[in-house]
Amino acid sequence: MKPVVVMIIVQVAYAGVNIVYKLVANDGMNLRLVVAYRFLFATAFMAPLAFILERKKWPKITWMVLFQAFCCGLFGGSLGQNLYLESLALTSATYASAMANLIPAMTFILAVSLGYRSGVALPTV
């Protein structure tokens, strides 16, 4: 029963965040500033945990690792959040929540379509 309760709590939290974001967007706050605050608070919370819990497992940081981390943060984090908040400002919180559930399906479709075109053999079921 615990996984079901946790899943419901997470979904309620996502819905609450969508409603708060919509209220902030309707109030006129700059949405890029909301994304910046979100990442600043996440960094302030996660960085001490990472330094304490992972202090003995630090990988070697090369220029390629730094470049990949930059691209991941740019495209995976900030671009996605900025597009999401802009779409939330233009639609309703209900519509944005429903569209967020399509992300896994769209990721699968992109992976299959791009995997075959690049010559990578995907496993068959």
Q: What is the pTM of this model?
A: 0.66
- The whole-number average pLDDT for the span 49-59 is 84
pLDDT given at position 124: 60
Evaluate if residue 48 carries a pLDDT over 90: yes
The Cα 101–Cα 16 span in angstroms is 16
pLDDT for 65-109, tens place per residue? 889 888 888 887 888 888 888 888 888 878 877 877 788 888 888
pLDDT band at 5 (very low <50, low <70, confident <90, very high): very high
pLDDT band at 16 (very low <50, low <70, confident <90, very high): confident
